[in-house]
Amino acid sequence: MKRTLIGLVSIVSALSFNANADLIFSTDFQGSTVVDETLTNINWTTEGVLSPGDISADWPLFSTADSSNKVGVDRNLHNEGAWSVFIAINTLNEGILLDFFSLDAFIFNNAGNYQGANASRDLDYSVSIQNALGDILVSTTVDNIFNGSGTWERGKLVIFDLNNTYLDANNTYELVLTASGQGPGNNAGFDNVSLVGRVPAPQTFGLMVISLALFGLRKCLKRK
């Protein structure tokens, strides 16, 4: 009985989680427009969610040649403190398992131009997903994207593990990206954002429920 149960659990689990990743949303910000703290006219690619639409920051955005088609926040991390950017996630008729969020990181100077290539700058980014009540479902930080020693890499890829966080269908969530760091002339920004996860078919979620139930039954049998 126990061997049969273990085999069944393994098969169902493999079927449940062997799904290709979906690009939940992505954009390269081409053609976007800065209006104070808001970036508008963003062309999003989406799967399983509504278009996030405009994104907003808690400080004004740069509108310069170097920050064009990117998000650059006019706030010096070293002298003025951290800033945050907010991206809406409105799910459709299926739940979503979130795998990771990614972006390309940049450093601007106080004028909104690219910081000099040889300037040492420190940059840390944090990403959190919260529900409509403000409850944080997952939070992750990547420290020392630029570590304040040596040159910084323009457009450096940064990936944030979202640990298979589950978003319910037909619900409203928000992704919050927060930057912090040290070094004068340290105005951070980003480009090419992507949220990757899985939008399983309904039968797949059914298999997941069965799998969890079988794991529970297996634990009960082990106790006897």
Which tens digits make up the pLDDT trace of 55-94? 999 999 999 999 999 999 999 999 899 999 999 999 999 9
Higher-confidence position of 103 and 3: 103
Say if residue 140 is in the same domain as residue 166.
yes
Q: Residue 125's pLDDT is what?
A: 97
Q: How many helices (H) and strands (E) does the chain have?
A: 2, 13
Say if residue 194 is in the same domain as residue 221.
no
5-53 pLDDT, tens per residue?
A: 433 333 333 334 445 689 999 999 999 999 999 999 999 999 999 999 9
Average pLDDT over residues 115-119: 81
Say if residue 94 is in the same domain as residue 41.
yes
Report the 10 Å Cβ neighbour count for 14. Answer: 11
Which CATH number is 114's domain given? Answer: 2.60.120.260
Q: Residue 21's pLDDT is what?
A: 83
Q: Which of 55, 82, 58 is nearest to 187 (CA)?
A: 82
Q: Which of 35, 73, 80 is nearest to 54 (CA)?
A: 35
Say if residue 111 is in the same domain as residue 165.
yes
Determine the Cα–Cα distance for residues 210 and 181; give it in Å rounded to an integer: 46
Determine the Cα–Cα distance for residues 171 and 91; give it in Å rounded to an integer: 5
Average pLDDT over residues 144-159: 87
Length in residues, the chain: 224
Average pLDDT over residues 130-150: 91
Is the pLDDT at 222 greater than 90? The verdict is no
- The DSSP secondary-structure symbol of 73 reads B
Task: Look at the chain and report how many structural domains it folds into.
Answer: 2
Say if residue 157 is in the same domain as residue 224.
no
Say if residue 138 is in the same domain as residue 216.
no
Say if residue 146 is in the same domain as residue 213.
no
Determine the Cα–Cα distance for residues 197 and 40; give it in Å rounded to an integer: 25
Q: Residue 151's pLDDT is what?
A: 76
Say if residue 210 is in the same domain as residue 160.
no
Instruction: Name which of 22-31, 171-180, 215-224 the model is least confident about.
Output: 215-224
Say if residue 164 is in the same domain as residue 224.
no
Q: Where are the beta strands (DSSP E) in the chain?
A: 22-27, 33-35, 38-40, 45-46, 55-57, 71-72, 83-90, 96-108, 122-131, 136-147, 156-167, 172-180, 187-198
Say if residue 47 is in the same domain as residue 138.
yes
Q: What percent of the chain has pLDDT over 70?
A: 79
Domain span holding position 134: 21-199
Instruction: Please report how the helices 202-223 and 2-17 are oriented relative to each other, as an axis angle in degrees rounded to 10.
Output: 150
Say if residue 76 is in the same domain as residue 154.
yes
Q: Residue 12's pLDDT is what?
A: 37
Q: Which of 103, 165, 159 is nearest to 135 (CA)?
A: 165
Say if residue 74 is in the same domain as residue 169.
yes
| Residue 213, φ and ψ in degrees, nearest 5 | -65, -40
